[in-house]
């Protein structure tokens, strides 16, 4: 196996609000080295680093909006989010839970701080990913996967040094609970100080690490503190991370779809004509109904 090198350690961008409930740093797409095609199938990554929301009787969030052509994956680290979509999906994403929504041919969606959590307020920390769909699946029927924390399979490191939570794909024989439309590995590596995690993915897979908590050392050379993203080069298949303090790391690796990307706003298709069709279908009410 050839070692994979670190291409870039990315500092968090200036935060901005999505709606009034999500204060995020945008990592993907941002610049030519982290654009949609470079990171395909991970075509968007917004990270709500830990932020304290005061108590509110009116839950903050994002109102009704459309999606087509991809999947949204929301990973909750702190706080709770309630969500609903026009295909009938919905529920509450609690700490450690994951919402995996396949928009495919089109849904309307909304997401807010869960009502009781909002009344109390507290620290809020989440990741939202957009995962691209292969062209042949972009117009499939929408679906929804509610992944509770207790259902996520774990690989336990030796000497109780931590666990690898396998959300999608496989790690050392432990399989993820999420179903995907293309080869994707998605893990939460929860490491105690000094613990090491070793990872092996095909060199062609686009791979990145988001440091949620703590700090890490990649391949004994590249340092990455909390709230930073590490982009791995496509020059090898193996690398390791060491927690220089207790850490949580979101590990992402997926096969590049190698298909054209045409994106505008909430739609990600393969051609400009398909984008225009998406806007027409949305304007003509073909995404269903959902009250704000």
Instruction: Output the pLDDT for position 139.
Output: 98
CA 226 to chain centre: 16
pLDDT of the residue at 242:
98
Q: Which residue has the tokens 């000497």?
A: 159
Q: Where are the domains of the chain?
A: 6-254
Using CA atoms, how far apart are residues 129 and 127, in angstroms rounded to an integer? 7
Q: What is the pLDDT of residue 237?
A: 97
Longest CA–CA span in the chain (Å) reads 58
Instruction: Show the DSSP H helices in 95-236 as ranges.
Output: 115-120
SS (H, E, C) 4-49: CCEEEEECCCCCEEECCCEEEEEEECCCHHHCHHHHCCEEEEEEEE
Residue 51, burial from CB neighbour count under 10 angstroms (0-12, 13-18, 19+): middle
* Burial class of residue 284 (count of CB atoms within 10 Å of its CB; 0-12, 13-18, 19+): exposed
CATH superfamily of 6-254: Jelly Rolls (2.60.120.10)
How far, in Å, CA of 232 to CA of 9, rounded?
Answer: 9
Q: What is the DSSP letter of 68?
A: B
C-beta of residue 149 within 8 angstroms of C-beta of residue 94: yes
pLDDT the model gives residue 292: 67
The DSSP H or E segment spanning 65 is strand 61-67
pLDDT of residue 9: 97
The predicted pLDDT at position 66 comes to 95
CA-to-CA distance for 184 and 178, rounded, in angstroms?
10
Q: Going residue by residue through the chain (292 aa), what tens digit of pLDDT does each one get?
A: 799 999 999 999 999 999 999 999 999 999 888 999 999 999 999 999 999 999 999 999 999 999 999 999 999 999 999 988 888 878 899 999 999 999 999 999 999 999 999 999 999 999 999 999 999 999 999 999 999 999 999 999 999 999 999 999 999 999 999 999 999 999 999 999 999 999 999 999 999 999 999 999 999 999 999 999 999 999 999 999 999 999 999 999 999 999 999 999 999 999 999 999 999 999 999 998 877 6
Sign of CA pseudo-dihedral 253, 200, 93, 27: negative
């Amino acid at each position: 196996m050839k070692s994979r090198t670190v291409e870039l350690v990315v500092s968090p961008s200036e935060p901005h609000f999505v709606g009034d409930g999500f204060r995020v740093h945008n990592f993907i797409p941002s610049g030519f080295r982290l654009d949609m095609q470079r990171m395909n199938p991970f075509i968007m990554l917004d990270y709500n680093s830990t932020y304290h929301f005061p108590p509110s009787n009116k839950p903050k969030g994002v109102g009704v909006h459309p999606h087509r052509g991809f999947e949204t994956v929301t990973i909750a680290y702190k706080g709770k989010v309630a969500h609903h979509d026009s295909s009938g999906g919905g529920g509450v994403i609690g700490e450690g839970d994951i919402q995996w929504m396949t928009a495919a041919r089109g849904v309307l969606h909304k997401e807010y701080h869960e009502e009781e959590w909002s009344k109390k307020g507290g620290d809020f920390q989440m990741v939202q990913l957009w995962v691209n769909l292969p062209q042949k699946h972009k117009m499939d029927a929408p679906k929804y996967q509610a992944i509770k924390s207790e259902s996520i399979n774990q690989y336990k490191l030796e000497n109780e040094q931590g666990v690898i939570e396998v959300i999608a794909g496989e790690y050392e024989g432990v399989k993820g609970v999420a179903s995907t439309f293309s080869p994707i590995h998605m893990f939460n590596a929860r490491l105690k100080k000094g613990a090491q995690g070793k990872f092996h993915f095909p060199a062609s897979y686009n791979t990145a690490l988001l440091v949620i908590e703590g700090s890490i050392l990649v391949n004994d050379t590249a340092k990455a503190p909390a709230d930073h993203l590490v982009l791995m080069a496509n020059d090898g298949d193996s690398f390791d991370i060491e927690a220089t303090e207790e850490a949580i790391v979101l590990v992402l690796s997926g096969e590049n779809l190698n298909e054209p990307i045409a994106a505008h706003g909430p739609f990600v298709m393969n051609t400009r004509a398909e984008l225009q069709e998406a806007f027409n279908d949305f304007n003509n009410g073909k995404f269903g109904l959902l009250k704000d």
